[in-house]
Amino acid sequence: MRETKRTAVRTFANQIKNLSKYPGYIYGASQPQQCAWLKKSHPLIYKRLQELVKQGVVEFQGGFWVEPDTNLPSGESLVRQAIYGKRFFKEEFGEDMRLCWLSDAFGYNANLPQIL
């Protein structure tokens, strides 16, 4: 878990550097859990992330708390993922997630259309 948290922080820090380095660059992030780790461990980077979201150069995609495996979890688990993720993005960044983004899914739960 420690390495996962470090990787998330390093990813955000690198993307923030890229945003100042490359005009027109836009970064998409999809997991509120990583933002929560960043907020707790690196508040200055987190504050910068909030500013960049307001500027429109960081876009959040998805809204699930983490990018879930949608084959195995129950429908209730997926709903909770969406509730927690949407709530975090709304409270912390003022962003209301209205689209589902599952970039790393190996398949889709049959309940997903009903949930979304």
What does the alpha-carbon distance between residue 66 and residue 10 come to, in Å, rounded to a whole number?
17
On the question of pLDDT at 25 being above 90, the answer is: yes
pLDDT band, residue 50 (cuts 50/70/90): very high
Dist CA 69 CA 108 (whole Å)? 8
User: Residues 53, 85: contact at Cβ < 8 Å?
Assistant: no
What's the rounded Cα separation, in Å, for the pair 28 and 90? 16
pLDDT at 59 over 90: yes
Q: Is 104 a catalytic residue?
A: yes
- Nearest Cα to Cα of residue 92 among 115, 60, 69, 68: 60
Percent of the chain with pLDDT over 70: 99
E strands, the chain, are 27-29, 58-60
Q: Given pLDDT bands bounded at 50, 70 and 90, which one contains residue 62? A: confident
Residue 24 pLDDT: 94
93 has pLDDT over 90? yes
Catalytic entry in 23, 56, 98, 104: 104
- Give the chain's domains with CATH numbers: 2-115 (3.20.110.10)
